[in-house]
Chain A
Amino acid sequence: MTSDFLLFFFLAAFAVTTAVLMVIQRNPVMSAIYLIANFFAIATLYLMLQAQLLAILQILVYAGAIMVLVIFVIMLLNLQDEKALSERVNIRMVVGVMLAFAFLLEMGYLFVGMNLEGAVPAVRPGAEAIGTVEGMGAAMFGRFLLPFEVTSLLLLAAILGAVILAKKRIDNVVT
């Protein structure tokens, strides 16, 4: 086992554990914390997969901006803990979880019979430098220029939408 494998399995276990913990937690703030930990693990994985810029962006945007926003909202709304799962379980949940498990099994089916030793490596040898800033920059301002510019419009729309939706009514008619 090489060090790569060890590191990968450690990160994988960490990611899965924090994800499970996030889902189980009753306190929403704790859920958010665990999710942030999960994001860190995934960012490290990105680094291993030669996506340097995206790893940093993951931390900056996801963990840094989005999760902070989420925690702000949780604090703002002063949410209470949820009730225990055992009190509110219903048939839909049970069947839903079973379906998720079935989904996993279907994915597993794909792996059965696969020759794992001869599989394609995650990183093609000789492709170490694709995810650098220079590489991404070249792509963004080259091939993906139009989507790049359109994304700015998208963000504008999101800003406007968020401002209007969350605004308090001035005339106090409908709150």
Chain B
Amino acid sequence: MSIPLPYVLGLSAILFAIGVTGVLTRRNAIVVFMCIELMLNAVNLSLIAFAASMADITGQALVFFAMAVAAAEAAVGLAIVIALFRNRQTINIEEINILKW
């Protein structure tokens, strides 16, 4: 494939920005979580692009571990959301502000 590397990195940046926008804009905790997953994927994409362009397996190994961590994070994060919902009856992150000054 002869796509120049910058194109792939640009795609990665655009996806990352979209993810950031989602985090800032949405109120539902689970949707925010999904946007974070989108950001993680964008970064994975750019790592694999680098691995391919430099013919080094390290990038892909990093993505491997990133995926594992993302999975773990998803499990724990969603468990927290469930516990939060049980306590507060809401997962609107604007209403969950007990750590206020």
Classify A-B as touching or not with yes or no (CB < 8 A): yes
Binding site for B on A (CB under 8 A): 2, 4-5, 8, 12, 15-16, 19-20, 22-23, 28, 31-32, 35, 38-39, 42, 45-46, 48-51, 53-54, 57-58, 61-62, 65-66, 69-70, 73-74, 76-77, 79, 82-83, 85, 88, 92-93, 96-97, 100-101, 103-104, 107, 111, 114, 116-117, 119-124, 126-127, 130-131, 135-136, 139-140, 143-144, 147, 151, 154-155, 157-159, 161-163, 165-166, 168, 174-175
Q: How far is the CB of A25 from chain B (nearest CB, A)?
A: 8
Binding site for A on B (CB under 8 A): 1-8, 10-11, 13-22, 24-28, 30-31, 33-35, 37-38, 41, 44-45, 48-49, 51-58, 60-61, 63-65, 67-76, 78-83, 85-87, 91
Residues of B close to A70: CB separation below 8 A: 30, 33-34, 74, 78
Which of B4, B26, B71 has a CB less than 8 Å from the CB of A119?
A: B4
Indicate whether A123 sits within 8 Å of B48 (C-beta atoms), given known contacts A79-B30, A104-B13: no
| Interface SS majority for chain B | helix
Indicate whether A165 sits within 8 Å of B91 (C-beta atoms), given known contacts A51-B52, A114-B6, A154-B72: no
| Interface SS majority for chain A | helix
A53 to B37, CA, bound (A): 20
The answer on a CB contact under 8 Å between B37 and A62 is yes
The answer on a CB contact under 8 Å between B78 and A69 is yes
Q: How far is the CB of A154 from chain B (nearest CB, A)?
A: 6
Q: How far is the CB of B93 from chain A (nearest CB, A)?
A: 11
Total A-B contacts with CB atoms under 8 angstroms apart: 244
The answer on a CB contact under 8 Å between B30 and A74 is yes
The answer on a CB contact under 8 Å between A130 and B74 is no
A86 to B27, CA, bound (A): 13
A19 to B16, CA, bound (A): 10
A49 to B41, CA, bound (A): 15
Residues of A close to B10: CB separation below 8 A: 107, 111
- 15 residue pairs bridging A and B, Cβ less than 8 Å apart: A15-B15, A22-B35, A32-B34, A49-B1, A117-B4, A123-B53, A130-B52, A135-B57, A140-B61, A143-B61, A147-B65, A161-B75, A162-B75, A163-B79, A165-B82
